[in-house]
Amino acid sequence: MASDRPVAAASSTAPIDQTPEWRALEEHHRTIADRHLRDLLAEPGREDWSVIDLPGVHADLAKHRADAETIRLLVELAQRAGLPERIEAMFAGEAINTTENRSVLHVALRAERGSTIEVDGRDVVADVHEVLDRMGRFSNEVRAGTWRGATGEPIRAVVNIGIGGSDLGPAMATRALSAWCDPGRIHRFVSNVDGAAIHEALADLDPATTLVVVASKTFTTSETLANARAARRWCVEALGEEAVARHFVAVSTNEAEVAAFGIDPDNMFGFWDWVGGRYSLDSAIGLSVMIAIGPDAFGEMLAGMRRIDEHVRTAPLDRNLPALMGLLGIWYTNFFGASSHAVLPYAEELARFPAYLQQLEMESNGKSVTLDGERVGWATGPIVWGEPGTNGQHAFFQLLHQGTQLVPADFIGVIEPNHPLLDQHDLLVANLFAQTEALAVGRTAEEVRAEGVDDELVPHKVFDGNRPTTTLLLDRLTPATLGALVALYEHKVFTQATVWGINAFDQWGVELGKVLAGRIAPELDPSSPEPTGHDPSTTRLIERYRRRADPSPD
Half-sphere exposure of 506 (CA within 13 A, CB side): 19
> Mutual orientation of helices 68-80 and 83-91 as an angle, nearest 10°?
60
Residue of the chain from 154, 276, 381, 501 that contacts ligand G6Q (CB under 6 A):
276
Binding mask 396-435 for ligand G6Q (x = CB under 6 A): ----------------------------------------
Site for ligand G6Q in 330-389 (CB under 6 A): 363
Please tell me whether residue 102 binds ligand G6Q under the rule CB under 6 A: no
Distances 66 to 39, 436, 440, 468, 475 between C-alpha atoms, Å? 11, 16, 12, 9, 26
By CB under 6 A, the residues from 119 to 178 that bind ligand G6Q are 162-166
Residue 444: how many CB atoms within 10 A of its CB? Answer: 16
Give the residue closest to ligand G6Q by C-beta. 164
Element housing 306 (H / E): helix 295-314
Sequence length of the chain is 554
Contacts of ligand G6Q in 475-504 (CB under 6 A): none
Least distance to ligand G6Q, CB of residue 88, Å: 23
Task: Tell me which residues in 198-237 interact with ligand G6Q (CB under 6 A).
Answer: 216-218, 221, 224
Cβ-contact 413, 353 below 8 angstroms: no
Which residue lies nearer to ligand G6Q by CB, 94 or 490? Answer: 490
Nearer to ligand G6Q (CB atom), residue 50 or residue 221: 221
Residue 332 contacts residue 94 (beta carbons within 8 Å): no
Per-position x/- string for 11-50, each x denoting binding to ligand G6Q as judged by CB under 6 A, each - no binding: ----------------------------------------
Which of 50, 227, 471, 507 is close enough to bind ligand G6Q by CB under 6 A? 507
Reduced 3-state DSSP string for 393-408: HHCCHHHHHHCCCCCC
Closest distance of CB 261 from ligand G6Q, Å: 12
Nearer to ligand G6Q by Cβ, of 250 and 482: the residue is: 250
Q: What's the closest the beta carbon of residue 163 comes to ligand G6Q, in angstroms?
A: 5
Quote the CA–CA distance of 349 and 363 in Å, as a whole number: 24
Which region among 59-67, 271-279, 429-437, 545-553 touches ligand G6Q (by CB under 6 A)?
271-279
Give the strands of the sheet with 340-346, arranged side by side: 51-54, 57-60, 469-476, 409-416, 340-346, 383-385
Nearest to ligand G6Q of 164, 382 (CB atom): 164
Q: Which residues of 225-235 are buried (b: 16+ CB within 10 A; e: fewer)?
A: bebbebbbebb
User: Where are the alpha helices (H) located in 2-123, listed in sequence order?
Assistant: 20-32, 37-41, 46-50, 68-80, 83-91
Binding-site ranges for ligand G6Q (CB under 6 A): 162-166, 216-218, 221, 224, 276-278, 363, 507
